[in-house]
A and B are shown apart, each in its own frame.
Chain A
Amino acid sequence: GIQVEQSPPDLILQEGANSTLRCNFSDSVNNLQWFHQNPWGQLINLFYIPSGTKQNGRLSATTVATERYSLLYISSSQTTDSGVYFCAVERGGSNYKLTFGKGTLLTVNP
């Protein structure tokens, strides 16, 4: 199956700092999503981004499908950004199989 690798596994920031999270995947995809898992376990969909660039407030994401990676940018981080960020992909032709990476645990200190 498709492999999804996220880096770094852990990241500690001071409030106000910027960060970049990376997701590498091993095959072509027709779906790529970034999720934030809050302390209560809910997966919040941040971006649906199989290719291109999107921005939503302090967050933005870029996927370069031809090079099989995606980046999530967090600017001016806040303590509420803390949690686990997951990248998940669905390979072209494999409907209904969303494969997750192991996640990046982000801690933002005040």
Chain B
Amino acid sequence: ETGVTQTPRHLVMGMTNKKSLKCEQHLGHNAMYWYKQSAKKPLELMFVYSLEERVENNSVPSRFSPECPNSSHLFLHLHTLQPEDSALYLCASSQSGGGYGYTFGSGTRLTVV
């Protein structure tokens, strides 16, 4: 385990479904992130939470809804997704001012059918 755990590892959902991705960090970090990795594209930052407050929303469609109930947990709620939303969704955490960089989870591979 890397210290950042994501579940599920794989998810197939229909366009009318509602599902949630979960991320948990065991590193005592104070910031958590959602990134999206699509085929042939660089990783894209979606959301940032610092001290449980959202500090960045990178023009993400409203069908993606993040939630950060505490500094260790981060969720990404999904509803009415499109096939082009199929991608690898990666969670990360960091400690601002910590000087150790970001730690990533193993990702959730999402397929929208």
Contacts and interface: CB of A to CB of B under 8 A. Distances in A.
Nearest to B48: A96
A96 B31 contact: yes
A85 B6 CA distance: 21
B15 interface: no
Given A96-B50, A97-B45, A101-B42, A45 B106 contact: no
Contacts of A43: 90, 104, 107
Interface string A38-54: 00111111001000000
A56 interface: no
Given A41-B88, A41-B109, A96-B50, A48 B100 contact: yes
Given A41-B88, A41-B109, A98 B56 contact: no
B101 A45 contact: yes
Interface in A68-93: 86, 88
Nearest to B41: A102
A45 B107 contact: no
Nearest to A47: B101
A95 B103 contact: no
B2 interface: yes
A86 B43 contact: yes
Nearest to B109: A41
Nearest to A103: B42
B75 interface: no
A63 interface: no
Interface string B34-64: 0001000011010010100001100000000
Interface in A10-52: 31, 33, 35, 40-45, 48
B42 A42 contact: no
10 contacts: A41-B37, A41-B107, A41-B109, A43-B107, A88-B43, A95-B50, A97-B48, A98-B33, A98-B92, A99-B45
Interface of A: 31, 33, 35, 40-45, 48, 86, 88, 95-103
